[in-house]
Amino acid sequence: MLLVNSCARPRPAVVVAPPRPALPPKPAPVTELRGVWVSDTTRLDWDDATAKLQRAGFNAMFVNFASSGAALYPASAVLPSVSSESPASFARGIELAHQRGLAVHAKQIVMFMFKAPPAFQRQLQKTDRVMRGPDMKPILQSNFMWLCPSQPENRALVAGAVTEMLTRFPVDGLQLDYIRFSEQPSCYCPHCRAEFERSSGIRVKHWPSAVLEGPYVVRYNEWRKRVITDWVRDLSALARRTRPGIKVSAAVFADLDRAREEKAQDWKLWLESGLLDYVCTMTYRPDLREFESLVRKQQAWAPRRNQIVVGIGSWKFETMSPLIGQINAVRQLRAPGFVLFSYDDCAARDFLPKFVIGGNDHN
């Protein structure tokens, strides 16, 4: 525009004030990650989404590519594909994102069988590969089951999906989600019992009460944490072998103590061990003071401050002002970026056209 104007006749300057957000955002750091999580990829209009995200100032998308029971991308040879898109159309969507300055991180929902067809779930239940509660019934969440994390067949299934998505699509990162045990007490299946007894050298007579409230509660949770950490290690190594230089992250519970004790999710150890480049903490706290306090704790828990990308629960806010307030807090605390949960909700409520966060491109 400057080059064109320099060749034209001088004209009176016309200044048009840009629309202002509810609260003025603080300046963005040069390398700030400004992302959104995309939940239902089967309904994603890549052209419309990437155009709106570009205009609003975002530079990253964390897109659900697969769960442990379904591929949300087309024509998978590993999992049942629930996508109606053609492979060319899906690849074109990623290309559009890149053209519009948006990094695309493929999200693998590791244990939760989101969108899995009923027949596939029944097949895994029949072969006893699903996570079970103390009553030995399959764990269900929104009518979808969970994979048991201690079984080699399940690890191979997820590894196959990760390999497929990273070789077929030019993504910029891999994010592990639901890399944990369920919110419900789990897993107490026969395979977990056998593996715990083998690794601990303990013959548990009263199962599962002895590991639920008996003498082996602590030892069982330590074993559960090792199981999850081993899986993070395997998937991270696989991703880095398959696509050297890729960024590997995880979506994690915001409170480290609760994550460790309730979900066996020791994300501090994962960062310390170099298994992940960073974590996206699901800090879904609408109260600003509570939000800021928790982010400060996360930064203290992490080996380095720039390993904490803050997840913001945008779906909890009815107006823009408190959401912008939390983004400002993230910038004030010098976090490397933020991710909103979720794009789906923002699009449904038409938030994005009113949302201008500004800033520079993420490196």
Beta-ladder partners of 278: 249
At residue 305, the 3 state secondary structure works out as helix
Which residues are within 8 A (CB) of 133 and not within 5 positions of it... i.e. 6 or more apart? 139, 184, 185, 186, 187, 188
Arithmetic mean of pLDDT, 194-199: 98
Report the share of the chain in percent with pLDDT over 70.
90
pLDDT of 98 above 70? yes
Phi-psi region of 150 (alpha: psi -120 to 50; beta: other; left: phi over 0): alpha
Confirm if 227 and 174 have CB atoms less than 8 A apart: no
Is omega for the bond preceding 187 within 30 degrees of 0, making it cis? yes
How much is the pLDDT for 359?
A: 56
Q: What is the pLDDT of residue 138?
A: 98
Q: Dihedral sign, CA of 139, 263, 283, 248?
A: negative
pLDDT, average across residues 205-210: 97
> pLDDT band at residue 347, thresholds of 50, 70 and 90?
confident
| Token reading at 90 | 């899906």
252/177 Cα distance (integer angstroms): 7
Dmax (CA) for the chain in angstroms is: 91
* Residue among 292, 293, 278, 276 at smallest CA distance from 362: 278
- pLDDT digits over 247-303, tens only? 999 999 999 999 999 999 999 999 999 999 999 999 999 999 999 999 999 999 999
- Give the global pTM: 0.89
The mean pLDDT value of the chain amounts to 91
- Residue 79, pLDDT > 60, answer yes
Rounded to an integer, the average pLDDT of 60-68 is 98
